[in-house]
Amino acid sequence: MKKGISAVAGGLIILAILFTTIIPLIILMQNSYAIFLNESNSRRIFDTDRISESLAVEVSQDTETKQLVLILSNNGPVYVRVVRVWAIDVAMQRSIRDDGPCLIEEPPSLPPGANSTLNLQHCIDKFTGIVQFLVVTERGRIFSSNRVNLTSGHLIDIVFPYTLTLSIINMKRGATYDVHVEPLGEGSVSPETFTYKATASNENVTVAFGVTAGKYRVSLYENGILAKIKWNPRIVYIPDTTAVIFDLGRKEYQSVPLEIIFYTPRKVLVRQSEEESFDVGIWVQLPREALEPVEINLIDASRINVNGPSNIIRELTCMTSSGFILQPGQRAMAAMCTLTVHGGGKPGEKYDLTIIVNEGAIKGNGFYSSLNYENKKTESTPITVQIIKGTPGPPE
Amino acid sequence: MLILNKRIKIGVSYIVTVAIMTAITIALGLLVWGVVGGWAGVSAIYLVEETNKEIAQQRSLLIVEFVDFSRGVVWVSNPGKVDLIILSCIIYPKSSSPPPRTYQRLAKVDASMDRVYPLKIGQECQLIGSSPYVVEINAIASTIYNDRNPMENIQWSIWVRQDV
């Protein structure tokens, strides 16, 4: 029995070495390997995700604000978070901003298939030149945009191969004209609309549209309503058609003389040695040939007179009214005069009086053209005054 | 017979022999245990250190976002999981072989994509030759960086090489 003591002791020590040293070392090695393997897997997954990132970056312009925007489209299968955008001056190969990248306050996170837009106007300020944007993701990928040409921070429209010239002739003063050029198919046009407010009568304007080959509808609107003229809207084919003319058919405004119309009694009976008053209406008419309304703004009462024997005429007083508008063919009262006559002759005698409206007594301005309108010649009308026997006196 | 019996009993007793043998066995056993324990301890420390370095290397990642020649700045960022120490940065002609360089602590780049770090050309970054260029950067995880052992830093550093 005692022979095996040292063998037992040796065996115990071997076991002790095994359990206290070798096995823990093996466990430690396995654990380290597992940790390393785990980290390697983690890195491999990260690298796989990183390589799987796919982001389409396109520079565009907001149609309303005309500010530069970046359209981001996540085409890949993994979530993409944008952390930074660089605005690069391509010609100089430098960052447009002095302080480095253009940082985004709220960086977008894009799930697979999602789109997002970033307003980058503040990144380029009023830069002129070729710019390219670099988008940096959280996983460290860099995606570049297309290169675009900017002028004062705004996109320069594409140079179109064809030009469509459009003329609007004989516009109406004060009216707003809108031209719409719509592609009917695959053509493109810039600008698509043109707006102009006519500041003078019969004004003409010509504008050029950049177009590509294709079919287009060209429409002219007057004050928001489709102008009622021939061939509007018009269908044109580019490059077969290069010019479109919309003639609004208005003639040139010309001043016409105002016409004077008298409303007076032909004959007035006045008792001998007595006075009689009667009304003389003076009206003004705008001839039908006039091309525009006229605002009557001056009636000179001093240029309205009466001629006749001094023993008959006592007084002519006129009340004028102005500031009204006459349409072509319309008439209106310009002055209401009261003529007082005296029965200064013998009964049965007749006297002729003449009411005269001198040249330029009534003036106005064309509503659209502001041309001067007035009565060009002196007009008159006769009135016969007959003396009749005076009123018998009261019985004595 | 008595004389014979006396002769037989002369020498070390059996118990003493067993005791001596046992003592020797235990002494040798403890010696072996100590040696093995020491080896195992050293191995464990080495193993842990190596694993730490390998893991730190796995976690290291550096990207060059943009090289602004006009302002003389190389912009780098760290999308990895561990802070990095930049050891060297050199820009040299793409067609030529990598030039010799010095390795020293140039800058620290935190593991966060919220920031981008500038490396000034002429200070942190050397510029050699003419374009087209390639930029080459060495960096090591700050957790395993040892400023007293440059060779080991180079051994465990990551290399970033990118066309400019």
Look at residues A383, A174, A182 and name the one whose alpha carbon lies nearest to residue A278: A383
Task: Give the pLDDT mean for A143-165.
Answer: 81
Cα separation, A65 vs A68, in Å, equals 9
Interstrand relation of A80-89 and A129-137 (parallel, antiparallel or unpaired): antiparallel
- How buried is residue A366: exposed, middle or buried, by Cβ count under 10 Å (0-12/13-18/19+)? buried
What single-letter amino acid sits at A122? H
pLDDT band at residue B4 using 50, 70 and 90 as cut-offs: very low
Look at residues B52, B53, B73, B74 and name the one whose alpha carbon lies nearest to residue B137: B74
Q: Across the interface, do A5 and B22 touch by the CB < 8 Å criterion? A: yes
Q: In the beta sheet, which residues pair with residue A270? A: A387
Cα separation, B62 vs B85, in Å, equals 10
Total residues belonging to chain A: 396
ipTM for the predicted complex comes to 0.84
Interface of B with A in 3-42 (CB under 8 A): 14-15, 18, 21-22, 24-26, 28-30, 32-33, 36-37, 40
A15 interaction partners in chain B (CB closer than 8 Å): none
Task: Give the pLDDT mean for B2-22.
Answer: 69
* Domains of chain A and any CATH numbers: 56-155 (2.60.40), 162-247 (2.60.40), 259-388 (2.60.40.10)
On whether any CB of chain B is under 8 Å from the CB of A4, the answer is: no
Check residue A173 and give its pLDDT: 78
> CB–CB of B104/B90 below 8 Å?
no
Q: Which residue in B has a C-alpha nearest to residue A105's C-alpha?
A: B114
Average pLDDT, chain A: 87
What single-letter amino acid sits at B70? S
Q: Which residue in B has a C-alpha nearest to residue A17's C-alpha?
A: B33
What single-letter amino acid sits at B55? I
A25 interaction partners in chain B (CB closer than 8 Å): 40, 43-44
B32 interaction partners in chain A (CB closer than 8 Å): 13, 17
pLDDT band at residue A40 using 50, 70 and 90 as cut-offs: very high
Interface of A with B in 124-153 (CB under 8 A): 134, 136, 138-140, 142
Q: CA quadruple B45, B47, B48, B54: dihedral positive or negative?
A: positive
* Sequence ranges of the domains in chain B: 2-56, 61-163
Q: Across the interface, do B68 and A25 touch by the CB < 8 Å criterion? A: no
Render pLDDT for A185-221 as a digit per residue (tens, 0 to 9). Answer: 877 888 889 999 888 777 788 999 988 888 999 999 9
Which pairs with CB-CB distance under 8 Å and at least 24 residues apart come from A41-48? A42/B58, A43/B58, A43/B59, A46/A139
Check residue B9 and give its pLDDT: 60
Render pLDDT for A73-128 as a digit per residue (tens, 0 to 9). Answer: 999 999 999 999 999 988 888 898 887 888 777 788 899 999 998 888 888 888 88
